[in-house]
Amino acid sequence: MNVELKKRSNLILGVLFFGWMVSYIDRTAISLALISIGKDLSLSATELGFVLSAFFFGYAVMQIPGGWLTDKYGPIKLLIGAVVFWSVFTAFTGLAWSLTSLLLIRFLFGIGEGGYPAASTKSISIYFQKEQRTKAQATMMSSNMIGSAIAPIICAPLLLVMDWRHVFFLISGLGFIFVIALLWSTKNAQTFIAEERKESEEKGSFRKVLKNTYLMRVLFIFFFINIANWGLSSWMPTYLMQVHGLDLKNVGFIAAIPAIFAAIGMIISGRIISKLGGRSKYGVIFGAVVLAICLYLMSTAVSVAIVITYQSIAFIFVSFMASFIFTTPHRVVSQQNVGTAFGVVNFGGQAAGIISPTIMGYLINVSGGSFKTSFIFLAIMCVIAAVIAVTLPVNHQQQTNIKSVEGY
């Protein structure tokens, strides 16, 4: 890759990175505002769990259609449409007047955000050469963790000085900044990569993707890991405030610490995985077990410092597993099917988000406000993910055989 092409590609990577950060700021804000929303709309923990799950339901529903549409029509149109759509419903969140209205708004918000993952991944396959894609994908996905770190720092102080509704109005503007940056950056890059982009915009095959058994195993690993990940992330601010007595301002800054560790882990793990290939499965197994142990220890921790230490350790390994999962489409399917493949895998992970916050809310309710049972539930999900990871083939030849059998 020549210097000018690399510069243009990295510019687009930066814009995609920013888009992911915006998506995480927009979706994380509701976890910080959860107690205020509950008081304002008179919602129980179980009902708030439904609100959190409504986003994931819409997000999961859009994963496969989003991947297919990206492969068929190209990523730029999908990126613009998705970001504008979710930004509108970020603002609409501030207009919610009842449980029903909030559920509908968050579902539609999830539909909007659901178009972004496959389209951004497809963009990596278009604007980066093959040997650069794993690193670029991992770097882009580290934005998830940085967005999670920045969201509390931005939103918590805002929630202290203004009504939660006004916070959603304010952050909705970030998406429109992204759209302007995307149009500018991709226009400048078109001349340099027209041939690769033309190749990548060939129609993908949904049937081929579904018949790739390696990809399906990764989907189920992602499902069980994300039950733990989203269950923890969705309820962590409430846990810190109700169990450990922190105020919203302190929660905002403390919650950023594990996310920073996760972002560093994501960037480093992308480079490790590009070298290890199929042997990375051992890191997934080890990471899932460590995550399970940390979740259990968090349930017994008596101080905030210990809780955050365990969460930071857990998130480093979550990053490795996420990096492995997010880069899998680039490694095991043909380029024209990357968008569809990512959509299918991400559907598994986001489907977990539909049930996890609701189950957490239910377990908290029936336990009289205790979080211990829910943390143990999340730990069990991690163990199941580790067992599935054991079945993944190790060497490149085994993965190639899977693909050739399924028609790749």
Q: What is the pTM of this model?
A: 0.73
CA-CA-CA-CA dihedral for 67, 71, 74, 76, to nearest 10: 20
The pLDDT tens digits of the residues spanning 111-155 come to 999 999 889 988 888 888 777 777 788 788 778 778 877 888 888
What type of residue is 57? Answer: F
Per-residue tokens: 378:
């999340």
Q: Residue 74 region, left (φ>0) first, then alpha (ψ -120 to 50), else beta?
A: left
Q: Are 106 and 55 in contact (CB under 8 A)?
A: yes
In the predicted model, is pLDDT for residue 2 greater than 70? Answer: no
Per-residue tokens: 388:
């599935």
Of 26, 235, 19, give the one whose Cα is nearest residue 143: 19
Among 66-75, 101-110, 140-149, 275-284, the range scoring the smallest mean pLDDT is 275-284
Residue 277, pLDDT score: 63
The pLDDT tens digits of the residues spanning 277-294 come to 667 788 889 889 999 999
Per-residue tokens: 181:
């940056």
Q: Which CATH superfamily is domain 3-405 in?
A: MFS general substrate transporter like domains (1.20.1250.20)
pLDDT > 90 in the chain, percent: 31
Q: Is 216 helix (H, G, I), strand (E, B) or coil?
A: helix
In the predicted model, is pLDDT for residue 202 greater than 60? Answer: no
What type of residue is 194? Answer: A
Q: What does the alpha-carbon distance between residue 399 and residue 402 come to, in Å, rounded to a whole number?
A: 5
pLDDT-derived band at 405, boundaries 50, 70, 90: very low
DSSP state string for 229-297: HHHHHHHHHHHHHHTS---HHHHHHHTHHHHHHHHHHHHHHHHHHHHHGGGGHHHHHHHHHHHHHHHHH
pLDDT-derived band at 404, boundaries 50, 70, 90: very low
In the predicted model, is pLDDT for residue 198 greater than 70? Answer: no
pLDDT-derived band at 1, boundaries 50, 70, 90: low
249-280: burial string, b at 16+ Cβ within 10 Å, e else: ebbbebbbbbbbbbbbbbbbbbebbbeeebeb
